[in-house]
Amino acid sequence: MRFLTIVLLFLSSLAFAQDDTPLADPVDDTIRTESTTTSTITTTGNTTTTLKSPPASAITPTINTSNSDLCTFGVAGAVQTQILGISTGTQVTDENCERLKNAKTLYDMGMKVAAVSVMCQDKRVFDAMMHAGTPCPYDGLIGEDAKAGWEAAALEAEATGDEGLSDGTKTAIGGGGIAALLLALLL
C-alpha cells in the first residue's frame, strides 16, 4: 500500500502543458486605442517674489586691555533691530584698583600718612578705621585731633544737607536713561 501511495504522489505532481495556437500564425496581444483630442488651456496667474536676506549685524568692537598693571577693563555691546544696528565700546577705570596702587606707591616712598589718606577715600575703609579707634587723617591731623575734625565735618555736612546722590538714586537714574534709549530705538 505504501508503494502505491508513493507512486500516486509522484505521478500527481507532474503537469503537462499544450500550446493552443499553431506556430505559423502568432497572436498579437497588444491593446490599441485610437483617439484624437483637441484641448485649449488658458492660464491666468499672479506671481509674487519675496527676497529673503539675512539681517545686518551690529558687531561689538573689541577692546583689548592685555596689560595686567592697568586698572581698566573693556565694556562693549551691540543692539540690532530689523532696521537699525548700534554698537559701542569703552574702557572703564576701576577706581579701587587705582586707589590701591596709589596707596602702595605712597607707602613704598615712605609717605605712610598719605597712603592711609588715599585708602580712607573708600567709605568702607573709612568706617573700619573709625570703628577701630584709628581715624583717618584729617587735614594733616592724626589720632584724636583727626577724629574731632571728622566729627565737626560731619556736623557741618548735616547742617548744609550736602550728601550727594545715594547709590540707589544713581542706579535708578542710570536705569531710566537706558530705558529711554531703548524706547528711542523702537520709535
Which residues contact residue 60 at a Cβ distance below 8 angstroms, ignoring those fewer than 6 apart? 76, 77, 78, 87, 89
Which residues contact residue 78 at a Cβ distance below 8 angstroms, ignoring those fewer than 6 apart? 58, 59, 60, 85, 86, 87, 88
Residue 101 — very low, low, confident or very high, per pLDDT cuts 50/70/90? very high
Indicate the burial class of 150 (C-beta count within 10 angstroms; 0-12, 13-18, 19 or more). buried
If asked whether residues 103 and 130 sit together in one domain, one would say yes
If asked whether residues 113 and 129 sit together in one domain, one would say yes
Listed ranges 11-25, 76-90, 137-151; the one with the highest mean pLDDT: 137-151
Name the residue with higher pLDDT: 8 or 33.
33
Residue 117 belongs to some domain of the structure: yes
If asked whether residues 144 and 88 sit together in one domain, one would say no
Residue 105 — very low, low, confident or very high, per pLDDT cuts 50/70/90? very high
> Which pTM was predicted?
0.48
If asked whether residues 87 and 125 sit together in one domain, one would say no
Residue 123 belongs to some domain of the structure: yes
Q: What is the share, in percent, of the chain residues with pLDDT greater than 70?
A: 80
Domain that holds residue 141: 95-160
How many domains are contained in the chain?
Answer: 2
CA proximity to 65, closest of 104, 87, 92: 92
User: Cell match 548700534: residue?
Assistant: 86
**pLDDT above 90 (res 106):** yes
Residue 49 belongs to some domain of the structure: no
**pLDDT above 60 (res 134):** yes
User: Cell match 496581444: residue?
Assistant: 29
If asked whether residues 119 and 141 sit together in one domain, one would say yes
How far apart CA 148 and CA 127 sit, in angstroms, is 15
Residue 148 belongs to some domain of the structure: yes
Residue 25 belongs to some domain of the structure: no
Minimum mean pLDDT range among 21-35, 64-78, 79-93: 21-35
Listed ranges 14-23, 54-63, 140-149; the one with the highest mean pLDDT: 140-149
If asked whether residues 81 and 111 sit together in one domain, one would say no
